[in-house]
Amino acid sequence: MDKVRIGLIGLGWMGQLHLQYLSEMEGCIIEAVCDVDEKRAGETAEKYGARAFTDYHLLLEEDAVDAVYIVTPQMYHFEILKAALLTGKHILCEKPLVLTAEELSKVRRLSRGYKGKIMVDFPQRFSVATEEAMCEIKKGSLGKIQFMRGNFRFSMKRHAALHGEWVFDRKRGGGLILESSVHLWDAVRYMTGQEVVSVGAVAHCHPDMDFEDSFFCIANLSGGGIASIDMNGWLPDNSDTDKRFEIVGDAGCIYLDEFRNYLTVKSEKGIENNPGMFTDGMTHKDVMWHSAIAGGVKRLDEYFMRCIRLDETPMIGIEDGARATEITWAVYEALRTGSIVKVNYGTGESA
């Protein structure tokens, strides 16, 4: 396929970011855009020379659209994704995939044997620091991974004004744990190569809303490792985002600081910082995930377009999105029961 014609549904800030990057890529055409806000849809369509829709069903019916981006708030993901999976088009869906176990079961069933390419939007995997870290992990610089810690801290104090209040509502947006921590859980699965087996958690609820503004979680991993995840969404307004990972193996360790732009690697086996020249460690510069030059979102879009053109299977499929979501449901159950909870994959339920 020489040209990939895109239809994008959901024109909030993330949808606009994808459109910006996709419009700059050779071999990519913005064919159609869709949003319930008719004015926004019309203005965006005019900007990119596309057709405007306010009904996603009509966009999905268009033969001129090869690939669909679903970039709406998550309470709409299931119905749009379900409809898209009946078209045979290539699909990229924003995380989290869905909000309930019943929805997830249906999506799994509909996606089995699907001929089009399906990918879930986890740009963390495509940050330069993450890709550099994975190179070292795959080379064995860390040895057997024993521990991983991730934290994600930012301010949501203006989220309602900028993006909408839906994220604070567990039934509509999933709250901080589902909406945001899926990024961290996917990173744990991807970088350790282990599944999350069980979790325990504590959380702090916002005093004025039924909403966890911070939480801490510990996890047992399938390969014998352990992990911890902590998040806070209520930093002072205009605070810098703080997103870091530590990965420790029996031969080396990695410290990844995504928003302060560096990656530090230490290894008893040595790090090759010039051909044939090894040191015990090295620090890499990096760019933030939303960088217009080489950020994770842009690199994810480039990767998805390449998978479509070269007929390759994307590395982040429905099952990756499903498992990250199922881990968050186990976290909620751990909070409810005050106990360590097993993650039940394939059913969306915890036991």
The per-residue DSSP string of 113-125 comes to T-SS-EEEE-GGG
Q: Which residues contact 125 (CB under 8 A, 6 or more apart)?
A: 131, 186, 187, 190, 296, 300, 315, 316
Specify whether the backbone of 316 is left (phi greater than 0), alpha (psi in -120 to 50) or beta. beta
Please return the burial class of 86, using the count of CB atoms within 10 Å of its CB with bins 0-12, 13-18 and 19+. Answer: exposed
Would residue 236 count as lying in a domain? yes
Would residue 328 count as lying in a domain? yes
Any idea which residue has 């995840």 for tokens? 229
Q: What is the CATH number of the domain that holds 169?
A: 3.30.360.10
Would residue 309 count as lying in a domain? no
Give the 3-state secondary structure of 245-270.
EEEEECCEEEEEECCCCEEEEEEEEE
Residue 61 sits in which domain range? 4-116
Do residue 57 and residue 82 come from a single domain? yes
CA dihedral 180, 181, 183, 187 (to 10 degrees): 170
pLDDT confidence of residue 161: 77
Low pLDDT (below 70) residues in the chain: 261, 273-275, 284-294, 347-351
Please return the burial class of 39, using the count of CB atoms within 10 Å of its CB with bins 0-12, 13-18 and 19+. Answer: exposed
List, for residues 155-201, the tens digit of each pLDDT value.
Answer: 888 877 777 777 777 778 888 899 899 999 999 999 999 999 999 99
Helix (H, G, I), strand (E, B) or coil at 301: helix
- Give the domain-ending residue among 57, 83, 116: 116
- Give the domain-ending residue among 81, 99, 116: 116
Do residue 178 and residue 209 come from a single domain? yes
pTM listed for this prediction: 0.92
Give how far the C-alpha of residue 59 lies from the chain's centroid of Cα atoms, to the nearest Å.
24
Q: What angle do CA 102, 314, 163 make, to 5 degrees?
A: 60
pLDDT confidence of residue 350: 43
